[in-house]
Structure 1
């Protein structure tokens, strides 16, 4: 199982596969669903299964697997369904399974498991005095009639844990009663905050507050829509501040994983050039469905993409970005990435840098956002050589994805460097890498490379000049200074977006170079202003 590039589903169920599950199953690091039910697999489940950290469904029932349940399953944070029933597994149930906060269905029936049920997999019914019936161990009053009980059967949620032996069967009934509790409550359910946020001491906001703060998720408050959800403008009660609320569409495959990835990244990062997270919500909506949302500070000027590619005129009231503003934005971007790569331990790889994921505050300074596919590199991965083919399943945006990811190479900081290079060229030329002009082997990188250095003024975004007065445009000293600045930043974009990772700059070097370009432009501009005044 060396197919590390598989990213959706591998279905080998109901065949005649036999023998042990190979250690190479741990190489399926990008796979969302693995179906191995109904075969003749034997031996122990390898610990390497824990490397499949983005997996959501794992089905290995109806085999002859032996040994204990691997504790490394706890590392598959996005797992929603796990079926190990009808095998020959023994030992106890690992208590670490309780850390799988997204797990909806767990099947362990028809094995040889023993020992006590982990306490964290149990259920409390304190505070639900209206419940009745059930097994004697719950000590609930008898229900008034059987017919009334039947009317409630349809309200039971499909969350099942099936395990043999009399003591363990109690757990299955407990979880069924948990499903009943979800439907029974008529008030806003008590929220559950993901473990990822317990270290950050974020303020807690319930579902009702988010519902109210976005006017019931009004379409008028939509700021943007993506693959995994919708971003709304809203407010937080009693704080009187504007926020951006990212609500995940949990019906879309991969949305739980995206939520977990963003939580994991945001738990680690704190920097002035990154969008600040205000709070989170992990709860149940009024229909009894899971609800996940992240609340961020509101960025008054929207995405950088809008400012690069808008049509500027006196009618729309939006002014084009000046050269100085673009240089400041570029410095903010490289500072954010330099922090993620070199200021975080372990490093965080953004994986989806592009203008639409860069937001501008009221002062027109850039803030990096959207960590939905960010990767936190553990020590083993961060030490892998650049020619490793152990990919962890990168998914970015067309035009900004590093070429080596298409060949299945491992995620690295140099992938973000490539995206940075393309973004810098786009920022100063006004051309998107997906522009229809780029075809037949011609890319935005090639477009800039051919123009450098003699024709950089020809490829520069013409909107830059909308912010300059007619006198300065006709000043040859000014033109020379602008050409030198543009040449330097376009060259930096070219060096960062080279085809081979080994040919690119490191992020720290790119940041240092960008600061030098901006500072030199600022100093020469000040000198020019002094001369003009004299």
Structure 2
């Protein structure tokens, strides 16, 4: 019997070193799988000798240099995956012409050059083509639409230019189309006409066209197309006109365009929508009250438009962290926390012919004072109350957060916390102490974070929190009520932040209860932990992608995640946060900015590139989030004594995948649906391992994390 090596699988074995040229001697080899190791150096040209090779996969390594042109001779090659390496230069022309190829993934490298003008003509078998996050330039060939079997086409984050082929609809099996972050498209009225043909793509689920050069009005047929999608992103283009009525998506972003007109009433019919971003357009008119009925939406962004009138206050609009209307100067009303002016009501006059404005009490009193009614009882009471209020805040300066936040004095905070007593102390850290308190003027329970100004860096921490939270509003961020920068009763400098109190305590106290709390055991089941993980991911999606200037939190860990009474998670403690002041074109932003960051964060959660001169990046948060995810579902801290030298929590989990997820799961977790339970755990652990990859370019994007965790939850819930 002739025994030859036909398959070699070395994936996920933590192998280091260069690939030997001797691999080319295994001429009967059909499968070569080297993924997720630390192979460095160049790809051996001798691989071109493997004439029987069908599968070549070497993603997630540190391979560099050019792709050998000898690989173009592999006429039987069906699967080629070289993503997440450091490969550079032009892709050999012959590699693009292998007609047997079904799967081609070269994403996250430094490859450049243009695609052959006839690419796609001989690719009827091509299923997946992914070259995102490279430096390809030139046009997208019209011939690509001949690859009629394409299911996934992802060319996002390159330098491709020119119009998009008009017959994209010929790709009838397409499920994901991502051409984002390229200067593709045209600014004239025909720029989006290629979308017409996409109505033929009846199973299309993801359409990402953001940060392109598309212009003109959004065609009406997009509404019909969108009902099939789970994610539609058209943000940061030059799209104008009015918003269609029936854009029903799980994730819909139209921000940063030139949309005008009013918000369509029909948007209230989007029952299943989870995120809707219409910010930074030219939308005018009133906010439809019917939007209150969007029950499942997690965030609605209407900021920086020209909206006017009353903000609804029920349903979605009852929770000010679930939406944003910042930057609309003519809005009024809404819930109190928005700090908007009261709306003036039009009332019929006594004759019933004219309309007059209902005036606030102060205006009435002012008028009566002018006419000599000094003893009018309501005015006297109002004036007395006003003077009392002034005397109580005489030590108060303007809120460091801005005029939209209420002023508060040291005296009020002193009284609210029973003199900052030990009995009210919730937590104590390096830069601050947190006290539970109750504000007299609204009977609201709050958490007062008093800054320890004696410690070096505390003022910077205070400033960072103020900068990060001044314009940040999201249901999964700890809600800041106000801040105080003043003097105490002895004339000493005093700084404090006032937050909404979180009755559920920190995630830390649930995962690792202290000895004093062991008599009151806490436990979170799988779905509760998964919901918390999704909440935190949602907060990071907002901070990284939907703030006016993206924010890096830089200290994601269980003690900075607080739970309310319903176990909804809120990300807090922005003392280490930084805004990304981008020196590059915003449309090219992918989480990489121009500033370097010093070593901050907490041991075990901080990304390895921090403090090594790496550019400021949202991917440091993704790393910390990945560690958090692994900790939540294994129950082990990353600083556990079992993790030392090169053996980390990530390695501990990675070694158990894909078949031993149950073995490493937190013993407190259990389920009756064992098969689905294990599948769900394996999916979660895979996400955590990928997010905590050592090299930033190997980590997942947080928006993808958010979507995949939701998918894992849905999979598990089906077993019930």
Length-normalised TM-score, structure 2: 0.44
**CA distance in structure 1 between the aligned counterparts of 2:706 and 2:416, rounded to whole angstroms:** 38
What secondary structure, in the 3-state scheme, does the structure 1 residue paired with 2:615 have? Answer: coil
Post-superposition shift, 1:272? 0.3
**CA distance in structure 2 between the aligned counterparts of 1:420 and 1:338, rounded to whole angstroms:** 12
Alignment of 1:55-66 (within 5 A): none
**CA distance in structure 2 between the aligned counterparts of 1:258 and 1:315, rounded to whole angstroms:** 33
CA distances 1:18-40 after superposition (whole Å, capped 9, x unpaired): xxxxxxxxxxxxxxxxxxxxxxx
**CA distance in structure 1 between the aligned counterparts of 2:630 and 2:696, rounded to whole angstroms:** 18
Alignment partner of 1:396 is 2:608: no
Post-superposition shift, 1:386? 8.5
Post-superposition shift, 1:195? 4.9
Q: 1:523 to 1:187 in 2, by over 3 A?
A: closer
Q: 1:313 to 1:251 in 2, by over 3 A?
A: closer
Report the count of equivalent residues. 328
Alignment partner of 1:269 is 2:472: yes
Aligned-CA RMSD value: 2.3
CA distances 1:216-274 after superposition (whole Å, capped 9, x unpaired): 00011111111111000111112112110000011111111111100000012100011
Post-superposition shift, 1:519? 2.0
- Decide which structure has the larger Cα Rg and report it: 2
**CA distance in structure 1 between the aligned counterparts of 2:561 and 2:713, rounded to whole angstroms:** 19
Give the corresponding residue for 2:530: 327
Assess if the C-alpha contact under 8 Å between 1:390 and 1:408 holds in 2: no
Give the corresponding residue for 1:378: 581
Among 363, 368, 371, the alignment partner of 2:566 is: 363
**CA distance in structure 2 between the aligned counterparts of 1:494 and 1:484, rounded to whole angstroms:** 15
What secondary structure, in the 3-state scheme, does the structure 2 residue paired with 1:464 have? Answer: coil
Among 482, 500, 516, the alignment partner of 1:297 is: 500
Q: Which shifted more, 381-390 or 329-338?
A: 381-390
Give the corresponding residue for 1:449: 654
**CA distance in structure 2 between the aligned counterparts of 1:275 and 1:195, rounded to whole angstroms:** 18
Among 702, 709, 715, the alignment partner of 1:514 is: 709
Among 466, 475, 481, the alignment partner of 2:676 is: 481
Assess if the C-alpha contact under 8 Å between 1:312 and 1:320 holds in 2: no
What secondary structure, in the 3-state scheme, does the structure 2 residue paired with 1:224 have? Answer: strand
Give the corresponding residue for 2:510: 307
**CA distance in structure 2 between the aligned counterparts of 1:244 and 1:515, rounded to whole angstroms:** 31
Moved over 3 A (4+): 186-189, 311-315, 381-390
CA distances 1:447-486 after superposition (whole Å, capped 9, x unpaired): 1111111211111000113xx5xxx3xxxxx111110010
Q: 1:521 to 1:319 in 2, by over 3 A?
A: same
**CA distance in structure 1 between the aligned counterparts of 2:488 and 2:677, rounded to whole angstroms:** 55
**CA distance in structure 2 between the aligned counterparts of 1:294 and 1:418, rounded to whole angstroms:** 28
Assess if the C-alpha contact under 8 Å between 2:477 and 2:571 holds in 1: yes
Q: 1:312 to 1:322 in 2, by over 3 A?
A: farther
Post-superposition shift, 1:192? 1.2
Assess if the C-alpha contact under 8 Å between 2:393 and 2:408 holds in 1: no
More helix as a share of residues: 1
**CA distance in structure 1 between the aligned counterparts of 2:681 and 2:392, rounded to whole angstroms:** 59
What secondary structure, in the 3-state scheme, does the structure 1 residue paired with 2:610 have? Answer: helix
Post-superposition shift, 1:280? 1.2
Length-normalised TM-score, structure 1: 0.59
More strand as a share of residues: 2
Post-superposition shift, 1:314? 11
What secondary structure, in the 3-state scheme, does the structure 2 residue paired with 1:524 have? Answer: coil
Assess if the C-alpha contact under 8 Å between 1:188 and 1:285 holds in 2: no
**CA distance in structure 1 between the aligned counterparts of 2:485 and 2:630, rounded to whole angstroms:** 39
Among 419, 426, 438, the alignment partner of 2:631 is: 426
**CA distance in structure 2 between the aligned counterparts of 1:313 and 1:228, rounded to whole angstroms:** 24
Give the corresponding residue for 2:430: 227
Q: Which 5+ residue runs of structure 2 have no aligned equivalent? A: 1-390
**CA distance in structure 2 between the aligned counterparts of 1:221 and 1:311, rounded to whole angstroms:** 18
Assess if the C-alpha contact under 8 Å between 2:395 and 2:410 holds in 1: no
Q: 1:457 to 1:313 in 2, by over 3 A?
A: farther
Give the corresponding residue for 1:126: none
Among 470, 485, 494, the alignment partner of 1:282 is: 485
**CA distance in structure 2 between the aligned counterparts of 1:388 and 1:231, rounded to whole angstroms:** 33
Alignment partner of 1:523 is 2:718: yes
CA distances 1:196-224 after superposition (whole Å, capped 9, x unpaired): 423xx112211101000101000111111
Alignment partner of 1:497 is 2:695: no
